[in-house]
């Protein structure tokens, strides 16, 4: 579900240049600074606090899987694997099919991967990301000469118009990524649902390059028919099992494999891993009604006039199906038809109460924040994840956040005076805001946007 929104819902939440991302004080990090090559800490992982966690390999099957997996890992990754076991993460089974992190890592190690991908590299990336999700980034890599003709051919496939072919050839050099929504969802999945993250990692990197997930229709809408409308509107590959559940198929776009292959052999520091490519492409596909192109970082789709990023309605749907949870996107900013910020739907104390209540419940909160010019016109939007909070000695609230576009592999902090006025929307459990916000059903919101788009095109 989403709250009633205004025209800013048509604004894409990507990022242009990370303008104005002011960090307050020293970025927060648990234990010690980290690098991609030496990450052994496990901060903020919900699996560390779950009840009845298992830290001992109980069966012969688990022991054999652990031994086989250890054989193919390098020394540092084996240390990470051991820490995952000791923390209770490795045997966590909070996945859609109840498989554990260990089960999915073992499957990744013992079954073929998609063409051009490295089994060892994917294992290392998956383990490292689960151990320390702050390594997730949305930064695209360049296309080296060895891959350029392949990328050009894929992006101009079937196009005969010379002008369009020229534009398509230039579009593959992506300078600023629009995958902040997808990267934030990837982070949340790794940090809060490690077994499901590992299951997605295994399936998306397998030869089928897909993963199936059974979801509850009530997590999309109160009425099953409305949920089915949403699935059809988003062109989500699905099998309707009954009026209670549906089985969805998640997969990256057809060009994601080229980007993943490039990052397998030509990844530079601070660029996306092949796993990031596959995850973010898949979530962009979901939100863009299966219209995303990994080579250009552009999309089509019936709900959006722009070709970069995802709008709020698309983000909410994607979060809901990936996590199989009812998500309420609460709109806080009031924006006029000229994209001018003119006020707020609630006061800052209410906004703060919503955020802190969700965090105290153990939820991360993915927010969309805006940047304005001197006339209060919104010029940019970006998604980040609030993962915690603390108070300064003077009693001022500081939010601890993850930003997938800041080139930092650690959390950052924003004080409340800076962040709260910039928050356009936040994904929250409905129970937190039901008494404060008037709710419009998700399918109604989508239908209204679709009609508005059709009228503009007429």
Query: Does any domain span residue 40?
Result: no
- Which of 310, 326, 351 is where one domain is finished? 310
Over residues 401-430, mean pLDDT: 95
pLDDT given for residue 441 in this prediction: 67
Residues 293 and 331 in one domain: no
Three-class secondary structure of residue 366 per DSSP: strand
Mean pLDDT of 341-367: 95
Query: In terms of residues, how long is the chain?
Result: 458
User: For the chain, what is the domain count?
Assistant: 2
Q: Would the pLDDT of 17 be above 50?
A: no
DSSP 66-126: HHHHHHTS-HHHHHHHHHHHHHT-TT---STT---HHHHHHHHHHSPBPTT--HHHHHHHH
Q: Are residues 338 and 419 in the same domain?
A: yes
Query: At 160, is the pLDDT very low, low, confident or very high (cuts 50, 70, 90)?
Result: confident
Question: Is the pLDDT reported for residue 438 higher than 80?
Answer: no
Instruction: Report DSSP state, residue 298.
Output: B
Write down the H helix ranges in 373-428.
416-419
The crossing angle, in degrees rounded to 10, of helices 224-233 and 442-457 is: 40
Of 295, 310, 325, the residue that ends a domain is: 310
**Tokens (6 digits) for 88:** 């209770």
- 78-101 confidence digits (pLDDT tens): 999 999 999 999 999 999 999 999
Give yes or no for residue 4 having a pLDDT over 60: no
| For residue 437, pLDDT beyond 90 | no
E strand or H helix that includes residue 264: helix 256-265
Is 149 part of any domain?
Answer: no
pLDDT band at 241 (very low <50, low <70, confident <90, very high): confident
Residue 293 sits in the same domain as residue 372: no
**384 and 238 inside one domain:** no
Using the predicted structure, report yes or no on whether residue 44 has a pLDDT greater than 60.
Answer: no
Please name which of 163, 170, 120, 118 lies closest in space to residue 143, comparing C-alpha atoms. Answer: 170
- Beta-carbon neighbour count of residue 306 at 10 Å? 15
What's the CA gap between 87 and 121, in Å, rounded? 23
> What pLDDT was estimated at residue 33?
30
User: Are 214 and 331 members of one domain?
Assistant: no
Q: Which pLDDT band, with edges at 50, 70 and 90, does 5 fall under?
A: very low
In this structure, are 298 and 319 located in the same domain?
no
| Residue 453, domain CATH | 3.90.70
Same domain for 274 and 336, yes or no, is no
Does a structural domain hold residue 146? no
Q: Give the pLDDT of residue 446.
A: 73
Say which residue the tokens 């648990």 belong to: 30
Q: What is the pLDDT of residue 170?
A: 79
Q: What is the CA radius of gyration of the chain?
A: 21
Q: Summarize pLDDT for 395-414 with one digit per residue, the tens.
A: 999 999 999 999 999 999 99
- Domain presence at residue 150: no
More confident residue, 49 or 433: 433
- Side-chain half-sphere exposure of 132, counting CA atoms within 13 A: 26
Q: Is residue 147 part of a domain?
A: no
Q: How confident is the model at residue 436 (pLDDT cuts 50, 70, 90)?
A: confident
pLDDT score, position 169: 77
Within this chain, do residues 319 and 248 fall inside the same structural domain, yes or no? no
pLDDT, residue 21, reads 35
Which pLDDT score is estimated for 1?
33
Determine the average pLDDT of the residues in 279-298. 97
Nearest CA-CA partner of 277 in 266, 287, 263:
263
Are 440 and 353 in a shared domain? yes
In this predicted structure, the answer to whether residue 361 has a pLDDT above a threshold of 90 is yes
Burial label, 124 (beta-carbon count in 10 A; 0-12, 13-18, 19+): buried
pLDDT at 30 over 60: no
Task: Kindly tell me if the per-residue pLDDT of 193 is higher than 80.
Answer: yes
Domain boundary residue, one of 288, 310, 332 = 310
Asked if residue 248 and residue 273 are part of one domain, the reply reads yes
Query: Is 370 within the bounds of a domain?
Result: yes
Distance CA 451, CA 456 (A): 9
* 165 domain-assigned: no
Do 279 and 400 lie in one domain? The reply is: no
List the single range of 239-253, 263-277, 344-358, 440-454 with lowest mean pLDDT: 440-454
Which domain, by its residues, includes 377? 2-29+313-457
pLDDT band at 19 (very low <50, low <70, confident <90, very high): very low
Given a contact cutoff of 8 angstroms between Cβ atoms, the answer to whether 133 and 47 are in contact is no
pLDDT, position 11: 54
When pLDDT is cut at 50, 70 and 90, the band that residue 448 belongs to is confident
Residue 43 has pLDDT above 70, yes or no: no
131 lies in the same domain as 186: yes
The reply to whether 156 falls in a domain is: no
d(C-alpha 123, C-alpha 120), whole Å: 5
Q: Report the phi/psi class of residue 58: left, alpha or beta, with left for phi > 0 and alpha for psi in -120 to 50.
A: alpha
pLDDT given for residue 405 in this prediction: 95
pLDDT at 164 (0 to 100): 77
Report the C-alpha gap between 78 and 366 in whole angstroms.
32
């Amino acid at each position: 579900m989403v709250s009633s929104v205004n025209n800013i819902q048509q604004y894409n939440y990507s990022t242009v240049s990370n303008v104005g991302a002011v960090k307050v004080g020293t970025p927060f990090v648990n234990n010690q600074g980290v690098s991609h090559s030496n990450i052994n800490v496990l901060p903020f992982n919900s699996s560390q606090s779950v009840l009845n966690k298992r830290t001992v390999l109980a069966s012969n099957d688990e022991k054999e899987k652990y031994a086989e997996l250890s054989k193919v890992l390098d020394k540092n990754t084996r240390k990470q694997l051991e820490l995952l076991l000791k923390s209770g993460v490795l045997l966590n089974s909070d996945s859609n099919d109840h498989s554990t992190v260990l089960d999915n890592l073992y499957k990744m190690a013992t079954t073929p991967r998609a063409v051009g991908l490295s089994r060892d590299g994917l294992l290392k990336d998956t383990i490292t990301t689960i151990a320390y999700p702050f390594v997730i980034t949305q930064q695209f890599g360049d296309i080296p000469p060895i891959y350029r003709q392949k990328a050009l051919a894929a992006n101009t496939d079937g196009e005969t118009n010379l002008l369009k072919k020229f534009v398509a050839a230039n579009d593959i050099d992506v300078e600023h990524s629009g995958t902040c929504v997808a990267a934030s969802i990837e982070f949340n999945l790794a940090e809060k649902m490690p077994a499901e993250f590992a299951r997605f990692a295994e399936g998306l990197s397998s030869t089928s390059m897909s993963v199936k997930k059974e979801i509850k229709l009530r997590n999309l809408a109160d009425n099953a028919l409305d949920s089915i409308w949403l699935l059809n509107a988003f062109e989500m590959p699905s099998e309707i099992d009954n009026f209670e559940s549906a089985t969805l198929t998640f997969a990256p776009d057809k060009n994601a494999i080229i980007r993943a292959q490039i990052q397998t052999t030509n990844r530079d520091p601070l660029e996306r891993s092949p796993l990031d490519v596959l995850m973010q492409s898949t979530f962009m596909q979901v939100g863009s009604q299966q219209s995303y192109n990994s080579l250009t970082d552009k999309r089509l789709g019936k709900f959006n006039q722009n070709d970069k990023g995802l709008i709020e309605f698309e983000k909410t749907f994607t979060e809901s199906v990936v996590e199989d949870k009812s998500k309420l996107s609460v709109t806080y900013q009031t924006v006029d038809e000229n994209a001018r910020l003119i006020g707020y739907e609630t006061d800052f104390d209410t906004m703060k109460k919503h955020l802190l209540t969700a965090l105290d419940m153990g939820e991360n909160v993915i927010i969309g924040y805006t940047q304005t010019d001197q006339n209060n016109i919104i010029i940019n939007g970006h998604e980040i994840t609030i993962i915690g909070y603390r108070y300064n000695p003077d009693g001022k609230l500081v939010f601890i956040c993850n930003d997938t576009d800041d080139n930092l592999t650690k959390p950052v902090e924003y004080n409340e005076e800076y962040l709260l006025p910039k928050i356009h929307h936040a994904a929250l459990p409905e129970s937190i805001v039901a008494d404060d916000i008037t709710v419009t059903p998700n399918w109604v919101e989508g239908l209204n946007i679709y009609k508005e788009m059709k009228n503009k095109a007429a």
